[in-house]
Amino acid sequence: MKRIFLIAAIAIVGTAAFAQKKNVKIAEIATWDMETPNFTEARQCIQAAMLDPTTANQAKTYQVAGLVEINYFKCNSGTLNDDVYNALRTAYPYLMKAIELEKIPDEKGKVSTKLTKAIAKELESIQEYYYYGGGHFINNGDQKAAYEMFKIMGELCQQDFMANSKINCQDTMHMQARYFAAMTAVQLGNYEDALKSLDVAKEDNYNILDIYNAYAYVYEQTKDTTNLIATFKEGLKKFGSEVNSKEYAFLARLINIYINQDNVPEAIALIEEALVESPDDCEYMKLLGSLYYEQKNEEKAIEVLKKAIDTDPTYAAAYGELGRIFYNNAITISNEVSEIQDNNEYRKAREEKVKPAFLKAAPYFEKALELDPSETTYMYSLKNIYYNAEDGANLERIENMLGE
């Protein structure tokens, strides 16, 4: 009786396994007829096979699952909508799993590559549609789907199983796919994946300035100052002034980091180094003068700012910065004089020291205002200057400009 029971049990298991293998076959056959394919039945059958232990770990199951979706794409390629492109998106992980499962040796220790070769041939024939699908999803605002499609397209040609395929991994379409995968990952805020994708895209040297800028953005968002500084330095070394345009501004951003870290000497060293390459860059000169002044090196600050004016006599900011230095000196002198107790000495000091000190700053602010009439800070500085210099006519003029 025990023996009969065992045979019956084996028969039951065999029947279940046969049923699931049959499901795989039904799913496969249901999509062969390209005129009247039954994708609903195919998907139902293959899903059942993927859930059943007897077929869940068989390469054939996942190959068929992937082919069902690819055939769905092919049959509906006349209408390339979300649903059709999502079939391609769904197919890829199934096919990758089939390839991994086929690598497992059979009971005889042998490894087959039959399904893998068939999958490689299939993917080679449709691979550009992953690129088009990425563009489709970008245009429809689905960045997650776009990222996945571009990532598949970009990595497909690099897969070992595609080694014998006639795909140029360095053609523009593939490099663009890797580039777009990186950019969409950044936009999604998936910074771990973004960095991985950027590492891949960086190797192509395609739109490389944008790649470096994307690295910088990710490090800024994740507050990884160490890697952010390293990225800026690497970019400056590799591209020079090209990354100092308004679009990228690597040097300015790096300088700001050092300034925010109260590392003014490092910021000064960077600007001086940049001025060797771009000796006529007045913005650098103005910033350098400001930093020298912050370091209480007034003489050097004035020297650099006057050089900026000599280089570009229309650069308002340099005049304004010089005016600020002389204005602050006047404030210091005025505060010192205010400590004088003797009225006669006080009045004399105001006349001989304070007024001339304020008036020394006036021409620089006047010139700055002439060059940049919309900058009200110049007006307010001049108002205070003429008030302290007791210059009523000019004070009234500035107040009228301010609408007071």
Whole-angstrom Cα distance, residue 379 to residue 395?
10
Phi, psi for 169 (deg, rounded to 5): -65, -20
H helices of 140-207, in order, are: 143-156, 172-188, 191-202
Supply 13's token pair: 């298991």
Low-confidence stretches of the chain (pLDDT < 50) are: 1-20
pLDDT, tens digit, for every residue of 254-281? 999 998 998 999 999 988 988 887 899 8
What HEC string does 267-321 produce?
A: HHHHHHHHHHHCCCCHHHHHHHHHHHHHCCCHHHHHHHHHHHHHHCCCCHHHHHH
**Cα separation of 147 and 138, whole Å?**
9
366 within 8 A of 382, measured Cβ to Cβ: yes
pLDDT in tens, 116-157: 999 999 999 999 999 999 999 999 999 999 999 999 999 999
Q: Count Cα neighbours of 200 within 13 Å in the Cβ-side half-sphere.
A: 27
CATH number of 322-404: 1.25.40
Q: Which residues 6+ apart lie within 8 Å of 103 measured at CB? A: 111
The residues spanned by each domain of the chain are: 10-104+113-126, 322-404
State the first-to-last Cα distance of the chain, in angstroms, to the nearest integer.
112
Q: Which two tokens stand for residue 7?
A: 């045979």
pLDDT at 30: 72
Cα 100 from Cα 57, distance rounded (Å)? 10
Tokens of 189: 């805020």
Per the CB < 8 A criterion, the answer to whether 312 and 303 are in contact is no
Residue 218 phi, psi dihedral angles, 5° rounding: -60, -45
Residue 291, both tokens: 């930093």
**Residue 34: predicted pLDDT:** 59
H-helix or E-strand spanning residue 263: none
Q: How far is the C-alpha of 331 from the C-alpha of 389, rounded, in Å?
A: 12
Residue 6: its pLDDT value, please? 30
- pLDDT at res. 33: 60
Kindly state the tokens that stand for 76: 């509906």
* Residue 222 three-state SS: coil
- Which long-range contacts link 288-296 to residues 24+ away (Cβ below 8 Å)? 289/318, 289/321, 289/322, 290/321, 291/259, 291/264, 291/267, 292/268, 293/321, 293/325, 294/264, 295/264, 295/265, 295/268
